[in-house]
Structure formats: C-alpha cells, structure tokens
Amino acid sequence: MSSSTKLIKNCPNDSTFDLPPLSLDADGIAHDFKHYYVHTFGRDRQCLSAHYPYQALATTVRDRLMERWKTTRQAYDESGCRRAYYLSLEFLMGRALSNATFNLDLDEAVARGLRTLGLELEEIASTEPDPGLGNGGLGRLAACFLDSCATLQLPVRGYGLRYEYGMFRQVIENGAQVEEPDHWLREGHPWEIERPEFTQRIQFGGRTETHRDQNGRIVVRWVDTHDVLAIPYDVPVPGYRNDTVNTLRLWKAAATDEFDLDEFNAGSYTESVAQKNAAEHITMVLYPNDASENGKELRLRQQYFLASASLKDVLRDWIRLHGHDFSRFAELNCFQLNDTHPAVSVAELMRQLLDEHHLEWNEAWDITRRTLAYTNHTLLPEALERWPVRLFRQLLPRILEIIFEINARFLDEVALRWPGDIDRLRRMSLIEEGHDPQVRMAYLAIVGSFSVNGVAALHSRLLVEGLFRDFYELWPEKFNNKTNGVTPRRWLAMCNPGLRDLLNETIGTGWTRHLEQLSRLAHYAEDSALRARWHAIKQANKARLAEQIHDLCGVDFPLEAMFDVQVKRIHEYKRQLLNVLHVIHLYNRIKHGDTADWTPRCILIGGKAAPGYFMAKLIIKLINYVARVVNKDPATSGLLRMAFVPDYRVSLMEVIAPGTDLSEQISTAGKEASGTGNMKFMMNGAVTIGTLDGANIEIRDQVGEDNFFLFGLTAEGVESLRGHYDPNVIIANDPALREVMNLLESGYFNQFEGGLFDPIIHSIRNPHDPWMTAADFRSYIEAQERAALAYRDRERWVRMSILNTAHSGYFSSDRTIADYNRDIWRLQPVAPRPVA
C-alpha cells in the first residue's frame, strides 16, 4: 500500500477543521499571495517566469473555493438529496482562474491586492493555459452545464477523464494545419485535488466463469482480467456568487502494483515493469475527432474506464450510506449520458448490480432503466457509434454477454408488439449483423434509458422521424427535446466587460442569473444615446480582436469594416467552403470594379480539423491560400480582408464573440444538431446569417425574422433534392458561381501547386455532394448582400445588434438545465451554509 492510501489510527480531531473564514478583501488576498509566492513556491526578486505569480494567485483563490467546496459537500450529504451525474468523455472547461474570481465576486479585491504588489490581474490570468479536454461543442456544453448546475445549486457531479494530453495545438505552416501535442499538465494543474482514497479497480480482458452458489443461483465471475486503477482528481466548479462549489471528478489510469508473475519469474523484470505503461495509456490522450468515430480499441477502453469507475464510485457511496439495500437507488440517483460515448454504462451498471451486488436481473434492469438518461448530439449517420462485437468479446467479455441478454429480452418485447415483423427486429437489434457484427451504441443507450433527448427542436424532431423512428413508435414517452444553452457568466458577463457594465447600468444586474431579463433592453433599441454607447463598446471589442488577429495572423482588420466570423470545428457539413466561395465572389467583384456602395468586410475563419480528415485539412489550406491572394492584392485595400486564426479554443472565443458583427451559421440544413457558438455570438450582439438548422431556427424565432439573415434550403428541401441534385447545371446557370468556379479551376489560388484543390472542386460539382454547397450559393450571396446593406446603415445595424442581445435570454444554459431538471433529473436545489 502506498503512503497516500495507508490509513492512520488517529484521525485529525474536530479542531483541525475549525478554521476562521478566509479574508475576501484586497489586503487578505495580497497577504496570501505573498505567502504562497515566497514561502510555498520559493520565489525571490528575479521574477522571470509568469508561471509563479499565476500559481500563487491560483492557490490563493483556490483556498477560497476550498472552504465553500467543503460546505457544499456537507449540505448535500446531510440533506440525503437525490443527485444527478453528468457522464462525459469531454469537458472543455476553459480557463479556471478568471472564472473563479468572477464567480466568487473577487475581481476587484484581487485586482487591488495585486496592484499593491505591482501586478496586474488580467496579465496573470491570460498566462493560464486552456485545459483543452474536449473537441468542440459537446465538451463545451458539458462545461456550461456544470456552471449552470452550480449556479442553480443543484447536486450534480461531472464525471470525465483526466487526459494527459488534451486537444492538440494547431499551428499553420505554409497554409496547412500542423498538430502539436498539448501537454497541458506539464506545469501542474493547481485546480485539481488528487483523491487516491477513492481509487477504483477496473477490469479488462480475461474470461467469464459460470457456477451456482449455495442457493442454486447462477453466478458469473469475470476472471483472469488485466486490471487498471482509476484515480480520481476533483476539480471545483463554483456557482455564481452563491457559496456553492460543485465537483468535476476526472479519472486518471494507473497500473496496479502487481507484476505479471509468469514474466517476472522468467526473469523478465524490466519487461514486466514496462507492461505497467500500457495501463497508463488509457488516459494519455483525447481523441481529436469531432462528430466522427473511428473504432480504435483504446477509445473503447477509455469509454469503459469512465463508465465503470464512475458507476463504482456512486455505488460505493450508496453502500456506505444505505448498505446493500438498493430499493431506493433509482429514486435518488440519475446519470445523464453525454452522447453515446459513455453508453456502455447501461451494461456496466447491470454488471455491477448483478455480479458485484448480487441483484436479480429484473431488479437490476428496473434500476438501470430508471436511472439512465441519454442525450443524442448528432444527425450524421456516420457519427453514430458502433463497436465490433469481436472487440467487445476480447476486451469486455462479461459486458458483451450482458448486452446479448439485454438484446434478447428487448427483441422479445419488439416481437410481442409487432408479431412477425422480422425486418423490424433486424432494424432494431442492438447488434448489426454482417460479416463483422457491430454493437449499436445509440440503441443500447435508448433501450437502457428512461429519457432520450435531442439538443434543439429541429434535431429532436428529425431524430424521432428518422434515425430513432422505430424506437419512438415503441416508446414515444421516452423522447424529448432540450434546446442547448451557454452560460451567460463566461460568455457575456466575463468576456465582455464593456457590455456587462452598460447592461448593469441600463437594466440592473439581475440578468446574470435570469438572462430573460435582457428583454428589458429591447425598447432601448430606439434610444439613440444608448445606441451610440452600444456601438462604441462593439468598436472597442473589435479593436481588441483586431489586435489579436494582427499578432496571430499578421493581417490588419480595419475597425470600420464589418467583422464577419465563422469559428467552429472544420467539417464539410458546417460548410466553411460556402464561406470561402463567397469571399472569392467578393474578390472577383473587386477585380471587375463592381464596388459601388461597397461594404468593407473582414472575414475571419478559425477551427481545428481532425488530423485524419483529409477534406477538412484541404479546406483549411484553401482558406489560407485565398486569404494570401486577397490580402496582398492592392485592389482589395480598404474593401476586403481575410484571415484564418490558428488554434481556435475557448479563450480565443472569449475575445472573438464580443468583437463580431456577423455570425456565420451556415451548415447544410438538417445536419447541425444545435450549435452553441451561434448563441455566444447572439448574446454579444452579433447578427446571424444562417440556415434553418439546429438552434438557428429558435434564434430566429426569438429575435424575429427582420433581425436575422436567412438563406438556403430547409432540411426537408435538402432531403427531397437528393437523387436529382445537379450542381453542374446550377453552376452553368449562375454567372457569379461560374466565375468563382473558373477562378478556382484556373488554379488562381494555387499557382505553383497545380491540382491542389481538385478534390474540393470535385466535391462541389458532385451530384452526390451530401452538403449541397452549390444549391445554397445564390441564396447565400443574396443574404450576404442584405447583410452588407444593413451594415451600411449604422443606426439600423446597432438596433439589430441590441435586439439580438435582448432576445438571447432563452439561450442561457440556466434555462436548459432548469428544463433537464424539471423533466429528467427532478432534483431539489440545496444551499450550503454560507461561509462567514
């Protein structure tokens, strides 16, 4: 037993925990900062690294969280309340220091305290690396949800993985994406507390054995396994100025201290020790694929590792408090599965209840189906997870047996409902038959859950009409919608201090908790004095963004131009390509002298491509190659600029959203489940140009059609066009698109690399282009012209901008979480005893 898990006879007595509250004023903070800087981190006058001021300040602020963390845990324990757990392979938390100081209302005290020491809070906060434990929207949603749960004082714990390497850092070299490893833990992570006392043991491999116990019951044992330890690291999640601090528990994989005895005895000491490495690989790296799965064994290991460790953690706590009586377990616990990534939880919860806690099948199944809830995040069939049965058999043999048993009982239920409907049985089976049979994880999640939700109204409707139609016919009551939201603390109050102050002055301060109060702003759209201030704030935010663009891309964005922004993962369905075609069209107009009544524009595009996604990487190249030609042509001066911002991430978005005029949300209708970037832009007063896709539809409903630039086919239009879509006819009949294609095909943007963009050209001209880029070109160009015209009328544009913020209240993740809670979790808020 290592020293960290060894128990001692004498526990620290109560007076150990009887501490006076820590000071929240500037002097107290400066005092603690000095203590950590000098005594704990041992720094002296030669301050060379920005790292230690950050460490000292983070530790000072963390102490204040620690007090509230303890009282929150006590309040939950004492109330015996029902709890929910958010299981997610990704949590894209963003920087913690500025969030903690803001949510604790310590900004002023910290800034003043630091100033007495000759330091600047903003400068120190900006040195914090982004913990990038997520790919994009799905991981960021998990982070917004945790913020809202803590703010609403709901007993919700996040469970995830503590990847050693987060999302890769993106560098652009000669226009191409290059991935660099993100070893974010190298400098230490002051926001986590290791909790080795809650370590769990996770099984892999081996085989199963069946025998009967003394009561004649069949008992299955999973033996000869290769076990891995799961060590939890807890990260505090502060609520907004309410003394609640919830927990995000991240698991790290570690080897057991056992050796492979055969190897060991054969004298292979070093080989035996080296084997331990394999165990630690499980949480080594985040898979950088957004919206696509690639069937790698290590990924399935990660999924099971998270599911098993988290469920064991909750069950151990249950047994500590209730013994082996599980009769109230489902009443008091609920697990929300963030997509199918943790869907193996369905079988794993069954396994733990059956094999480890000796419940009968029916009782275990009843508990499972009453505690699990599943959120779907995609409409792309290729992104629906499937795992080969043979991989399960080899890696998780006991889990596979349970999945087969669940499937057999489920198919009996289907057969009873639709006698003789063999085709339906085949369609609905958890196992897809074929030469390499697959486990359908989404179906496993649906069968094992009491709730299945989509993340925007259109998405939820398309799910029950399409992908999950058979299941909807069987269990209509399970299906529901929960339109996504984002936290207004990080995405408005923190990232846009100028607008925050104006809002506080104009409509009071209640909006940070009750974002619907932003609607009070609507009638100020007619107040010209307010409009002038609104405009000045936007221009200041654009100046801050332009400075970043200058530093990162070497491109100058003039502030009087419209800032037209598309930042998100690079994917064909998101259609960055359509954006580029518009830029080429504008460039072509400039070259033809068609610039009367021109609206100057700066187009910013950013986002990472999955390292193995060829087309996405080629699109990044095209963006950079077009940008280079446009920016260096003297004809575009004052009219058009374009830049690709490298390494798009949370902290960059905190600068981009406040400085954006026009938000590009131009996915092929029916493909973007919800989008959340669209909501961050709207809150910060950007106007959207977008398709009727995902939450864009609800954004337009809220803000009104006059304040949204709509274009493109509907989801139904896209589907009914399939089969007779003819992009070549569209190109031939549209002079503007024809000229754009001519420029592309002439190699104008790739002078010395002939054929470089042929795959892109072919995809646009392909009648089977799933994203129908050419179909929406004309409509997009016209919407862009309406946007340009609107921008030239400053008063009109500012009015639209104000109304976008005013009607963004619905997109607070507080509203989303209140909906989850009302319909799925049914938790009571629990307030901790205030500290001091």
Pick from 649, 671, 700, 807: which binds ligand PLP (CB under 6 A)?
Answer: 649
Phi, psi (rounded to 5 degrees) for 334:
-150, 130
Classify strands 386-388 and 438-440 as parallel, antiparallel or unpaired: antiparallel
> What mask of x and - would describe binding to ligand PLP in positions 138 to 177, judged by CB under 6 A?
--x-------------------------------------
Q: Least distance to ligand PLP from the beta carbon of 562, Å? A: 19
Verify binding: residue 136, ligand PLP, rule CB under 6 A.
Answer: yes
List the catalytic residue out of 95, 351, 377, 482. 377
CA dihedral sign of residues 231, 235, 237, 241:
positive
The answer to whether 377 is a known catalytic residue is yes
Kindly tell me which residue out of 286, 396, 546, 650 binds ligand PLP, with binding defined by CB under 6 A: 650
> Which residues contact residue 634 at a Cβ distance below 8 angstroms, ignoring those fewer than 6 apart?
none
Q: How far is the CB of 605 from ligand PLP (least distance, A)?
A: 12
C-alpha to C-alpha distance for 356 and 806, rounded to whole angstroms: 53
Cβ proximity to ligand PLP, 648 vs 780, nearer residue = 648
CB contact burial 367-381 (16+ within 10 A = b; e otherwise): bbbebbbbbbbbbbe
Mapping DSSP to helix (H, G, I), strand (E, B) and coil, where does residue 703 land? helix
Q: Residue 16: how many CB atoms within 10 A of its CB?
A: 8
Beta bridge partners of 479: 452
**Interaction with ligand PLP in 544-603: which residues (CB under 6 A)?**
568-569
Part in contact with ligand PLP (CB under 6 A); list of ranges 26-34, 549-557, 644-652, 757-765: 644-652
Applying CB under 6 A, the site for ligand PLP has a residue count of 13
The least distance separating ligand PLP from the CB of residue 694, rounded to whole angstroms, comes to 8
Q: How far apart are CA 356 and CA 166, in angstroms?
A: 34
Nearer to ligand PLP, 645 or 830 (CB): 645
Computed over its alpha carbons, how large is the radius of gyration of the chain?
Answer: 28
676 binds ligand PLP, rule: CB under 6 A: yes
The reply to whether 653 sits near ligand PLP by the rule CB under 6 A is: yes
Write down the H helix ranges in 286-360.
297-322, 329-332, 345-351
Annotated catalytic residue: which of 157, 574, 671, 807?
574
Residue nearer to ligand PLP on the CB measure, 106 or 650: 650
CB of 5 to ligand PLP, least distance (A): 37
DSSP state of 232: E
**CB 137 to ligand PLP: min, Å:** 3
What are the φ and ψ backbone dihedral angles of 203, each rounded to 5 degrees? -95, 145
Choose the catalytic residue: 568, 641, 700, 807: 568
Q: Among residues 565 and 830, whose Cβ is nearest to ligand PLP?
A: 565
Check binding of 675 to ligand PLP (CB under 6 A).
yes
Using the rule CB under 6 A, is 137 a contact of ligand PLP? yes
- Tokens representing 544? 């801050």
DSSP element (H, E) containing 819: helix 813-820
Q: What residues does 584 pair with on adjacent strands?
A: none
Q: Which of 252, 531, 569, 571 is catalytic?
A: 569
Contacts of 812 (CB under 8 A, 6+ apart): 148, 485, 486, 487, 488, 515, 516
We find the least distance from the C-beta atom of residue 130 to ligand PLP, in angstroms, to be 8
Considering only the C-alpha atoms of the chain, give the largest distance between any 2 of them, rounded to a whole number of Å.
91
Q: Determine which residue in the list 677, 685, 712, 727 makes contact with ligand PLP, applying CB under 6 A.
A: 677
* Minimum gap (Å) between residue 651 Cβ and ligand PLP: 9
Q: Which is nearer to ligand PLP, 307 or 695 (CB)?
A: 695
CB of 681 to ligand PLP, least distance (A): 9
Q: Give 177's strand partners.
A: 172
Tokens coding 2: 């290592």
- The amino acid at residue 675 is G
Active site (annotated) includes residue 569: yes
236 SS3 class: strand
Piece in contact with ligand PLP (CB under 6 A), picked from 37-45, 132-140, 310-318, 406-414 = 132-140
The stretch among 133-141, 401-409, 475-483, 505-513 that binds ligand PLP (CB under 6 A) is: 133-141
Helix (H) or strand (E) holding 222: strand 218-223
Query: 479 and 455 in contact (C-beta within 8 Å)?
Result: no
d(CA 43, CA 137): 39
Shortest distance (Å) from residue 161 CB to ligand PLP: 18
- Considering the complex, state which of residue 463 and residue 645 has its C-beta at the smaller distance from ligand PLP: 645
Binding span for ligand PLP by CB under 6 A among 146-154, 183-191, 647-655, 746-754: 647-655
Distance CA 643, CA 549 (A): 8
Minimum Å gap between C-beta 427 and ligand PLP is 31
Segment interacting with ligand PLP (CB under 6 A) among 135-143, 193-201, 230-238, 776-784: 135-143
DSSP 653: H
Token output for 56? 């000292």
Residue whose beta carbon is closest to ligand PLP:
677
C-beta closer to ligand PLP: residue 251 or 648: 648
Q: How far is the CB of 227 from ligand PLP (least distance, A)?
A: 36
Instruction: Tell me the window of 82-90, 145-153, 593-601, 675-683 that interacts with ligand PLP (CB under 6 A).
Output: 675-683
Q: Which residue number, 673 or 775, has a Cβ lying nearer to ligand PLP?
A: 673
Among 99-107, 321-329, 533-541, 676-684, which window interacts with ligand PLP (CB under 6 A)?
676-684
Q: Name residues whose C-beta falls within 8 Å of residue 704's C-beta, 6 or more positions apart in sequence.
A: 803, 807
658 is a site residue for ligand PLP (CB under 6 A): no
β-bridge mates for residue 208, sequence order:
222
Nearest CA-CA partner of 807 in 815, 819, 795: 815
- For residue 769, the 8-state DSSP code is -
Select 83 or 569, whichever has its Cβ closest to ligand PLP.
Answer: 569
Segment lying near ligand PLP (by CB under 6 A), choices 248-256, 514-522, 649-657, 765-773? 649-657
How far apart are the C-alpha atoms of 294 and 292, rounded to whole Å? 7
Residues 399, 403, 404: CA angle, nearest 5 degrees: 120
Indicate which residue of 151, 244, 676, 688 is catalytic. Answer: 676
User: Do residues 825 and 156 touch, judged by C-beta distance below 8 A?
Assistant: yes
Residues in contact with ligand PLP by the rule CB under 6 A? 136-137, 140, 568-569, 648-650, 653, 675-677, 680
Residues designated catalytic: 377, 568-569, 574, 676, 680
